[in-house]
Structure 1
Amino acid sequence: MRRVLAAAALAVSATACVSPAKPATDGAPEMEKIAWGPCTDITRPDGEPPAQQDATARCGKLAVPLDYGAPDGAKIDIALIKLAATDRRNRIGSLLFNFGGPGASGVDTLDQAAKSLSTLRSRYDLVSFDPRGVDRSSGVRCGSAADLEAYTAVDTLPDNAATRRKIDAANRRFASLCGRDSAKVLPYVGTINAARDLDRIRTALGEEKLNFVGMSYGTQLGAVYATQFPGNVGRMVLDAPLDPTVDFEERTLTQTRGFQQTYESFLKACVREQCEIGTDVGSADATVKRLMNQLAAKPLKVKNRELTQGLALTGVAAALYSELTWPFLGNALGQAIKGNGSALLYLADSYTGRRPDGTYSTQMTSFPAITCVDTTERPDTATLRRTQTAAMKISPLFGSEGSGGLCRLWPAKGGDEAMRVNATGSAPILVVGGKNDPATPYQWAPKLTSQLRTGTLVTYEGEGHGAYLSGSKCVAQLVDDYLINGKLPKKGTTCRAA
């Protein structure tokens, strides 16, 4: 499952932890100000402003160097959003969020998540941003909407030479379009530069320390920030953590195993609720696989579009991220076997960033751009085939070659600095790992905690990608108590499934 597992939230590889990096080329940044105003001031390239479900949201931009090696050279604007603290008298400061990806728009996501963050908002100004290379912050572009439509629709089954040739051709065209349309920013969108942007944002907000919540890829960004600027870390929470030491092959196999296990848990829940795809796990699994084979042979018409096998499997994987969406997935699969693919297509669109008007966010373009410049890994064909063969044995549905197939074609060079994590000297960092997380498997949580040197791990025993917004009152209370009161949970703390 090439694209889905690759975009699940990816850690770059690493070989060692080193002492904190010194961003010597950054220079002493001038005190930049953020001019907060209406969110219509930070429209996307297509002219659309954020949805702004919260009418009190304020937006702004911060100019940062495109290349921190030439800090006085070209600048790019980082788009930000702020939801002001509701208890102004007891306001603590600003709390920054990165919701993952890499490639998710923080401007859009914070606005959507505001109701779930009301406890934190009582004491903090909640702030998020589109990282460099994402949507409103010089978002990476790779061809037209029609090009992305074709790329995301490519089938991943059956697993044979013809399918692999089609995937390779699609990757080559996609990488070429990215190089054509985004050559200016591609070399500079990696996590190292994004962490430097974070420190510029901290300074512009007037904060002495960075208070930060990173989810999924945001844990990578937070860990790199803490490595570069340990003395500037305030209260930091890393939820659904990545292990920056795994290479693409190990990462692919681990994520494949995670998605397969979650898929099997979904099937059990689906059968228990008497869904339409089967009366037992075996028959339900057979139904899903039969549907995928049918779609590979003949896509389903959905108005003026088609539900291909590739899009259908993307929709399935998208719904596996949260146990809350499993009932919807069961219904979507039940509809699809009757010839109605609209619900599965909706799930796929939510993952690929396709909007109802046919345009796309940069979700599918920012992800590889950031991923591939965060590593020097450029695997050869033999390594890709070995990886895919092993992954397909783990899961005939979700097995893939991982991100390697696209990164080896990427038109910008990669670096390995973001692989090295060591936050020695920072304030305590709270790490939250889920036992049944398909995208960032639990074994990565203790590994990142150890690499940080300053981390404390909380374990969540429930399902889904990410624990803080999962509905677990236990996790929410522990995280809120740390961020608001500075109370760090005891080592070995575990929260049961919600």
Structure 2
Amino acid sequence: MIASLAVLVMTAGGCTLPAFAPEGSDEPAGPGGGGAPASAPGAAAQWSPCQDVPAKLVGRAAPGMSYDCATVKVPQDWSKPDSGGTYDIAMMRVRSKSQKQRIGSLLLNPGGPGGSGIDLSVYLSFGPQLGGLPTEVTDRFDLIGFDPRGVSRSSQVKCISDSDQDASFAADPDPVSQAEFDRVAALNKKIADGCGQKYGDQLANFSTEQAARDVDALRAAVGDSKLTYLGFSYGTLLGATYAQLFPQNIRALVLDGAVDATEDYIQGSETQAKGFERAFGNFTTWCKANAAKCPISGDPRAAVTDALATAEKSPQKYRDGREVTAGWIFVGLISSLYTESGWTSLAEAIADLADGDAKGIMDLADQYAERKVNGTYSNLFDANLAVNCADTEDAPTVEQVRKLQGEWRQKYPIFGAPLAMGMLPCTYWPGKRDPYPAGKANGAPPIVVVGTTGDPATPYENTAHLADMLGTGHVLTWEGEGHTAYPSTDCIVKAVDSYLIDLTVPKEGLRCPAK
């Protein structure tokens, strides 16, 4: 259980698709339940024990680890730091009781945007046997998980109703008729308008650049003169933005699962469509070669496309009353491609669906969506929209989306049209935008950028692009499947750990095998 969650919490970056992540708190209070006292802006963190957080997430704390929580106040708008408004940023410190020769803190971000770094710090605290970090790292660093502004236990964005979330996930991922396209567009406009009505001008404050400035405040609050940071997926964009703003404050940055900050919104969405289409092709190849593990091995692509087509015409009824629409099946498909271990679950779910059993595909979809059994949602997708759209000043028009939907359907048969449709929320998003920078991190030390050749959400090509953009980036390659690489194999672990601990940059061009 813990091992799988430690993988799944590393959420995807890019423009439209956050990954599925474990359930987090929906409460905006501090992470310790009642909440640790909030430190004033610029003050040192005031830590309080919070063993209840790992107990709630996974049923227990990791042996030999202590857990403390704190809340730090930051300006709502860093361009006007004295305006008076603040947000609370929740943090967790995980410290090994066998810690020695401490280097400092390792700040963690799982991606999304919208993923909880507090959750990630808990999962990674359980050690390598359960999918966590190596003891070589936890013996030298405090793990600092934080929920960025807008996310989970920090001052959070919550503006999408549970019913609208259900409708959005259930909606046709590729509406062909104009009438159906208009219905999906109207739902996206309703959601965007609702967020604008609730938060108004504050929406621009949830941008990546604002969050990167928060990271520097957290670095100071934990007492580190230089930042050591491990960011997955969207966390690479957050880390890259930090590197451009505060290059002199960096000790070491590992960016795993790179977002290409030089791409515009449309380019980023198409890159994801290409990445998922390629990953699905890898799944079908595996499926045909592993019939014992893949009950749809005869023609896996046809099995999936037939499931989507059948659901368009006559969706099954799920036991909780929902219709198993093509939208829900597509969400389950996306969910399964983030890890190679998810391929077996996908194959079984599609086979079961053909036999009238939708539990497998709906479980995959609900895991991705962070939908609880009572029909409520975390704020993952609220925050995801708020951050992505605050970052985006070049969203396409409705007419452009409709045109790209048809073009991408031809280029990427399963994923192209849905990824084009996924741009609609930012098309309608109200308020000002605050795009992140995309340039050199002049003055920064070497930064390690890790890429996975089979990554669906942040395709491998992004790795070199981000490294080149920063100017001090060094590429480390994992020839594996799924989203993000560390800590997957001994080769990757050795290279990343040597950099984090000793600042030894991986050998240029190092490629680690899949196993």
Whether these two folds match at TM > 0.5 is yes
- The 1-side partners of 2:59 and 2:227 are apart by 25
- The 1-side partners of 2:337 and 2:429 are apart by 29
TM-aligned CA deviation for residue 398 of structure 1: 1.0
Structure 2 vs 1, CA of residues 364 and 248 (structure 1 numbering), >3 Å: closer, same or farther? same
Deviations 1:101-136 (A, max 9, x none): 111111122212322113321211001111101112
TM-aligned CA deviation for residue 11 of structure 1: 5.7
Counterpart in the other structure of 1:291: 307
The answer to whether the 8 Å contact 1:97/1:106 transfers is: yes
1:10 aligns with 2:28: no
1:33 aligns with 2:38: no
1:413 aligns with 2:417: no
Letter of the structure 2 residue corresponding to residue 448 of structure 1: L
- Summarize the alignment of residues 398-437 of structure 1 with structure 2, pairs less than 5 Å apart: 398-400=415-417, 401=420, 403-416=422-435, 418-437=436-455
The answer to whether the 8 Å contact 1:39/1:60 transfers is: no
Letter of the structure 2 residue corresponding to residue 62 of structure 1: V
TM-aligned CA deviation for residue 41 of structure 1: 9.0
- Summarize the alignment of residues 316-355 of structure 1 with structure 2, pairs less than 5 Å apart: 316-355=333-372
Does the residue aligned with 2:480 lie in a helix, a strand or coil? strand
- The 1-side partners of 2:111 and 2:358 are apart by 28
1:301 aligns with 2:320: no
TM-aligned CA deviation for residue 57 of structure 1: 2.2
The answer to whether the 8 Å contact 1:41/1:60 transfers is: no
Letter of the structure 1 residue corresponding to residue 458 of structure 2: T
Deviations 1:29-74 (A, max 9, x none): 963122222448999xxxx975574263222211111111221311
The answer to whether the 8 Å contact 1:433/1:445 transfers is: yes
TM-aligned CA deviation for residue 286 of structure 1: 1.3
1:101 aligns with 2:112: yes
Deviates more, 1:199-208 or 1:266-275: 266-275
- The 1-side partners of 2:144 and 2:393 are apart by 32
- The 2-side partners of 1:276 and 1:299 are apart by 24
Counterpart in the other structure of 1:67: 77
Structure 2 vs 1, CA of residues 402 and 296 (structure 1 numbering), >3 Å: closer, same or farther? closer
Deviates more, 1:78-87 or 1:185-194: 78-87
TM-aligned CA deviation for residue 438 of structure 1: 1.0
Does the residue aligned with 2:125 lie in a helix, a strand or coil? helix
Structure 2 vs 1, CA of residues 52 and 220 (structure 1 numbering), >3 Å: closer, same or farther? farther
Counterpart in the other structure of 2:172: 155
Deviates more, 1:343-352 or 1:296-305: 296-305
- The 2-side partners of 1:486 and 1:346 are apart by 42
Structure 2 vs 1, CA of residues 437 and 402 (structure 1 numbering), >3 Å: closer, same or farther? farther
Deviates more, 1:245-254 or 1:488-497: 245-254
**Structure 1, gaps ≥5 residues long:** 1-6, 13-28
Counterpart in the other structure of 1:377: 394
- The 1-side partners of 2:262 and 2:161 are apart by 35
Structure 2 vs 1, CA of residues 249 and 319 (structure 1 numbering), >3 Å: closer, same or farther? same
- The 1-side partners of 2:341 and 2:494 are apart by 20
Choose which of 99, 104, 117 in structure 2 pairs with 1:88. Answer: 99
Choose which of 216, 235, 241 in structure 2 pairs with 1:218. Answer: 235
Letter of the structure 1 residue corresponding to residue 454 of structure 2: N
Aligned length: 468
Deviations 1:168-207 (A, max 9, x none): 0110111122123333641200011101100000000000
Deviations 1:250-290 (A, max 9, x none): 2222211111111111122122221565343xx22112111
- The 2-side partners of 1:74 and 1:411 are apart by 21
The answer to whether the 8 Å contact 1:222/1:238 transfers is: yes
TM-aligned CA deviation for residue 161 of structure 1: 2.2
Counterpart in the other structure of 1:356: 373
The answer to whether the 8 Å contact 2:204/2:434 transfers is: no
Does the residue aligned with 1:170 lie in a helix, a strand or coil? helix
Structure 2 vs 1, CA of residues 395 and 378 (structure 1 numbering), >3 Å: closer, same or farther? closer
Choose which of 188, 211, 219 in structure 2 pairs with 1:202. Answer: 219
TM-aligned CA deviation for residue 354 of structure 1: 1.2
- The 1-side partners of 2:389 and 2:313 are apart by 32
The answer to whether the 8 Å contact 1:95/1:211 transfers is: yes
TM-score (norm 2): 0.86
> CA RMSD for the aligned pairs?
2.2
Letter of the structure 2 residue corresponding to residue 475 of structure 1: I
- The 2-side partners of 1:455 and 1:215 are apart by 15
Counterpart in the other structure of 1:311: 328
Deviations 1:347-401 (A, max 9, x none): 1111112123322111111111101111211322332223222211122221131
- The 2-side partners of 1:148 and 1:164 are apart by 17
TM-aligned CA deviation for residue 78 of structure 1: 0.4
- The 2-side partners of 1:153 and 1:133 are apart by 25
TM-aligned CA deviation for residue 8 of structure 1: 4.6
Letter of the structure 2 residue corresponding to residue 335 of structure 1: D
The answer to whether the 8 Å contact 2:109/2:117 transfers is: yes
Deviations 1:213-243 (A, max 9, x none): 0111000000000100000011110001111
Choose which of 462, 465, 487 in structure 1 pairs with 2:480. Answer: 462
Letter of the structure 2 residue corresponding to residue 364 of structure 1: F
Counterpart in the other structure of 1:4: none
The answer to whether the 8 Å contact 2:449/2:476 transfers is: yes
- The 1-side partners of 2:179 and 2:125 are apart by 46
TM-score (norm 1): 0.89
How much identity, in percent, do the aligned residues show? 36
**Structure 2, gaps ≥5 residues long:** 1-10, 17-39, 127-131
Choose which of 266, 279, 304 in structure 1 pairs with 2:283. Answer: 266
Structure 2 vs 1, CA of residues 342 and 354 (structure 1 numbering), >3 Å: closer, same or farther? same
The answer to whether the 8 Å contact 2:71/2:90 transfers is: yes
TM-aligned CA deviation for residue 294 of structure 1: 1.4
The answer to whether the 8 Å contact 2:74/2:89 transfers is: yes
1:117 aligns with 2:127: no
- The 2-side partners of 1:11 and 1:180 are apart by 23
The answer to whether the 8 Å contact 2:236/2:257 transfers is: yes
- The 2-side partners of 1:53 and 1:67 are apart by 38
TM-aligned CA deviation for residue 343 of structure 1: 1.4
TM-aligned CA deviation for residue 339 of structure 1: 0.9
Counterpart in the other structure of 1:58: 68
